[in-house]
Chain A
């Protein structure tokens, strides 16, 4: 009995810290809301807003969707969705190709600790720069069109892809490199026969995952004129035309889900 009681006194008291932590969290959340000037008149009309939204969703514009009737095919949601996909796909491809040298540059296995630090720093800077801001700048140089979207996604993807590629290269089995050293291979031969066969699957899987993210980004970037669905989306949103918004939203959900399913299926095959 005594031994047990003594031991109980030694028990670290964590609940005080936990309590303080929880109270702090709650205070912080309440504080976060206090800054939001709540628009009560909007709140009172939430029921009405919901009816307006649902009525719009019930009245999807199929001519607009397929680009038939009074609409040109190139104005239709289907075409714009394909453009959005094209922006995401080509952007991701460019990003992945550019990220490979960065991945090697940020990998301790390949270039050593010190150079890898520099490579990592460059990637952090690319990653930190918000996509929308990049697009805002690029739109001046490349115009209000899909090309800007492609370049934005391509450049922005380098940051995260480069980092993940470097991790993949650092996690691989190093013994084949030793074996290649033993047969007298130079650095390029080591990369070709020792590194690429090992990391190709990982790199493809990471890129597919990024494609998933970029499909969403491509939609969003359109709102500042970088091509695809975004421009029509923001136009419809400014006039709250829920029938048009709903039509576009349907396309977005289907597109994202389809890409998600294909990408995770292919990633499953790669492992």
Chain B
């Protein structure tokens, strides 16, 4: 705290700025956490980094550039289809499953804590488990392949979509619901005519956004056996870096296109 005395004798005290508490705690946490991260100059092999990048993005051994790119358009097409299929089916199924849960979690629609508290608990449980772990569990139950990918993406989407959607439902304009109730409409009918028109455009925009996330994370799902491009990357990571590099280039382009389409459609919806 600093005290200032003006020329006319009045004093003003500048209060303690809370920002220093925040800065202090961040610095302290950084210090404590950094002790858990092993660091040794011998870890760092920037030369290796350069070599791996060259290996990823040039043909291996006696393969030609032609081989490098034709691999993308022949062998990678099927895995790419798998990746997109499982992202699409999982996003759509998970989002549809999320709708009832989101409605049951919304305090303004369901006024009973006995319903919305358990609903939110289910939602949070699914939301905390990373998609990769859902995929691991799915692989255990149904074996490797895109079905476990679909299951993992469905459950992951179910978790985040229900959370995002219920937040939207809780902020809608409730006055049309009142109007519908005054005409003698049932609860379902108020939902259909007063809530749905307000929520639908946001729902579709979220659907596209989550699809984008899912295409990106499907890479890692393949890594634990859920099919698609991720599986190709995992299978080749030890010996065929050029195949991995080609997969990376393909994923990069696909995600870029998905992201561009997604932001285009979403900006149209607003």
Q: Judge A-B direct contact (beta carbons within 8 Å).
A: yes
Residues of B within 8 A of A83 (CB): 36-37
Residues of B within 8 A of A132 (CB): 219-220, 223, 230
Tell me the chain A residues, 130-161 only, with Cβ under 8 Å from chain B.
130-133, 136-138, 140-143, 145-147, 150
Residues of A within 8 A of B233 (CB): 133, 136
| Contact between chains at A145 and B141 (CB < 8 Å) | no
Partner among B141, B147, B224, B244 whose Cβ is within 8 Å of the Cβ of A49: B141
Q: Among the listed stretches A6-14, A25-33, A99-107, which one makes contact with chain B, having 4 or more residues with CB under 8 Å of it? A: A25-33
Q: A24 CA to B216 CA in the complex, in Å? A: 24
Does residue A166 face the partner (Cβ distance < 8 Å to B)?
Answer: no
| Contact between chains at B45 and A136 (CB < 8 Å) | no
| Contact between chains at B49 and A39 (CB < 8 Å) | no
| Contact between chains at B43 and A32 (CB < 8 Å) | no
Q: A82 CA to B22 CA in the complex, in Å? A: 21
| Contact between chains at B92 and A29 (CB < 8 Å) | yes
Tell me the chain B residues, 214-269 only, with Cβ under 8 Å from chain A.
216-217, 219-220, 223-224, 227, 230, 233, 237, 244, 248, 251-252, 255-256, 259
Q: A219 CA to B125 CA in the complex, in Å? A: 16
Residues of A within 8 A of B85 (CB): 31-32, 35
Tell me the chain A residues, 188-224 only, with Cβ under 8 Å from chain B.
204, 216-217, 219-220, 223-224
Q: How many residues of A sit at the interface, in one of the four size bands?
A: 35 or more
Q: A217 CA to B251 CA in the complex, in Å? A: 19
Residue of B nearest to A145 (CB): B38
| Contact between chains at A90 and B37 (CB < 8 Å) | yes
| Contact between chains at A216 and B86 (CB < 8 Å) | no
**Are A36 and B146 CB-contacts (below 8 A) given A90-B30, A141-B46?**
yes
Does residue A17 face the partner (Cβ distance < 8 Å to B)?
Answer: no
Residues of A within 8 A of B140 (CB): 49, 53, 240
Residues of A within 8 A of B227 (CB): 36
Residue of B nearest to A138 (CB): B49
**Are A28 and B88 CB-contacts (below 8 A) given A86-B33, A124-B256, A219-B130?**
yes
Q: List 8 A-B contacts (CB under 8 A).
A: A32-B86, A35-B146, A37-B147, A39-B142, A90-B30, A90-B33, A140-B45, A150-B37
| A positions within 8 Å CB-CB of B | 25, 28-29, 31-33, 35-39, 42-43, 46, 49-50, 53, 82-83, 85-87, 89-90, 93, 124-125, 127-133, 136-138, 140-143, 145-147, 150, 204, 216-217, 219-220, 223-224, 227, 233-234, 237, 240, 245, 249, 252-253, 256-257, 260
